[in-house]
Amino acid sequence: MGKNFSIATVSLLLLLASTNAGQVFDVKSYGAKPNGDITQVQTLFTLKTNCLESCVSRAYELGPVTLLGPCKGAIEFNLQGTLQSPSDVESFKGKDGWVVFEKIDSLTVSGGGVFDGKGQTAWQKNNCAKESNCDKLPMNIRFNFITNSIVQDITSKDSKFFHINLLECKNLQFQHVTITAPADSPNTDGIHIGRSSQINITNANIGTGDDCISIGDGNHDITINQVTCGPGHGISVGSLGKYENEQPVSGIRVIGSTFINTDNGVRIKTWPASPVGTASDMHFENITMKNVANPILIDQNYCPNKQCSNESPSKVKISNVGFKDIRGTSSTQEAVKFICSKSVPCQQVVVADIDLTYKEGGSTTSTCVNVQPTTSGKQNPPACT
């Protein structure tokens, strides 16, 4: 269990356990010291015959690490203190993740601890607003090919790039996760989900400088429930259609969530001049907006920082989308905005029981392009058809 384990200033308790019994190994007994290097005990992480529980308390620095399976049994990473990332990007030597969990079944990450990415210096080096092919900075936590697992009661703080990234995960639960970074921290998405299924995010509190949660291509059966988002750019499906061979998106649910002082609320975004793609069966229900700039948004002309050379329509087909029971305040008058593709207009868009008031007083408005939504219940702003 383990690979590329380079650590400084860390004290771990490791529990190597069979299915029936366990034994505790304190790495300090093997020569590890606070403010020291425990590379000499790396072999504890390479044992693949048993499960591994790793517990960290107090505040320690930790270099880039990959915890690599498979393991023969369940594994728990229990963090009870604070892990601090190196501040300098150079120490990552081009790696795009700080703490990486990979190819593990039945993983639990818990303990109430903090993953502190110390991203303040790195944010100053982020040039993605100017360069579409910018260098990617390391993410705080990566989950690659993780199945039947749970992440609960942890905090990700000040990541250099995305806080938590999922790649090809299945049946992964997030509960009581906190993510925090300043509103002006660039590209610090809270949780980015890529090509995964059966993902459930419940009772999370996310405030950051980009999307609180972003859902990329190839995702199915994603449920987001009771999430508080703010500051940030909202919860987004997409952006989609930037690359060739993107996979369909379907089965997205955002329920019972609250957005506070965000740039967007619930959003679907696709690039113009995109390859063919689909996004369907997406539903946003029972949501509260508090001073949100774009509470309800479909944007098929998404092109930040003028990165698009071809303005032809998006070919990502959006269908079967529901916006129901959404209320609160908008910081702009245009509270509902559907800008769909003239090449593949949005279909089966349902808007029901919307009550969004303009915080400055006066009425809110809605805009519809290349879409004819079906409406019911209260419509504030008045529905466009």
Cα of 311 vs its chain's centroid, Å? 28
Alpha carbons 304 and 282: distance in angstroms, whole number = 23
In this prediction, residue 26 carries a pLDDT of: 41
- Read off the pLDDT of residues 259-268 as tens digits, 9 standing for 90 and up: 999 999 999 9
In this prediction, residue 310 carries a pLDDT of: 66
Token output for 343: 């090449």
DSSP 96-151: SEEEEEES-BSEEEESS-EEE---HHHHTT--TTT-TTPPPPPEEEEEES-EEEEE
Cα of 244 vs its chain's centroid, Å? 22
Q: What are phi and psi of 39, to 5 degrees?
A: -55, -30
In this prediction, residue 57 carries a pLDDT of: 66
Number of Cβ within a 10 Å radius of residue 136 = 15
Number of Cβ within a 10 Å radius of residue 235 = 28
Percentage of residues of the chain with pLDDT beyond 90: 71
Alpha carbons 379 and 352: distance in angstroms, whole number = 7
Contact criterion met (CB below 8 Å) for 108 and 53: no
Identify which of 122, 102, 111, 129 has the alpha carbon closest to the alpha carbon of residue 45.
102
In this prediction, residue 72 carries a pLDDT of: 83
Identify which of 282, 298, 296 has the alpha carbon closest to the alpha carbon of residue 355.
296
SS3 (DSSP) at 302: coil
In this prediction, residue 73 carries a pLDDT of: 86
* Exposure string over 2-12, b if 16+ CB within 10 A, otherwise e: beebebbbbbb
Beta-sheet pairing, 12-17 with 22-26: antiparallel
Alpha carbons 148 and 103: distance in angstroms, whole number = 11
Alpha carbons 345 and 341: distance in angstroms, whole number = 5
Identify which of 184, 134, 189 has the alpha carbon closest to the alpha carbon of residue 163.
189
| Catalytic positions, written as ranges | 210, 233
> Please, is 358 exposed, middle or buried when counting C-beta atoms within 10 Å of its C-beta (0-12, 13-18, 19+)?
middle
Cα of 199 vs its chain's centroid, Å? 11
Would you mind telling me the total number of residues written for the chain in this entry?
385
Identify which of 110, 106, 101 has the alpha carbon closest to the alpha carbon of residue 80.
110
Low-confidence ranges of the chain (pLDDT < 50): 1-51
Beta-sheet pairing, 114-116 with 155-157: parallel
Alpha carbons 385 and 377: distance in angstroms, whole number = 15
Alpha carbons 302 and 86: distance in angstroms, whole number = 34
Contact criterion met (CB below 8 Å) for 34 and 99: no
* Max Cα–Cα distance, the chain, nearest Å: 71
Which three-class secondary structure string do you get for 207-240?
ECCCCCEEECCCCEEEEEECCEECCCCCEEEEEE
List, in order of start, the domains of the chain with CATH numbers: 103-125+136-380 (2.160.20.10)
Alpha carbons 181 and 292: distance in angstroms, whole number = 18
Alpha carbons 85 and 276: distance in angstroms, whole number = 40
In this prediction, residue 170 carries a pLDDT of: 98
Which residue's structure tokens are 């900075």?
Answer: 137
Alpha carbons 355 and 324: distance in angstroms, whole number = 10
| DSSP classification of residue 204 | -
- Read off the pLDDT of residues 23-51 as tens digits, 9 standing for 90 and up: 333 434 444 444 433 333 333 443 333 44
* Exposure string over 298-319, b if 16+ CB within 10 A, otherwise e: bbbbbbeeeebeeeebbbbbbb
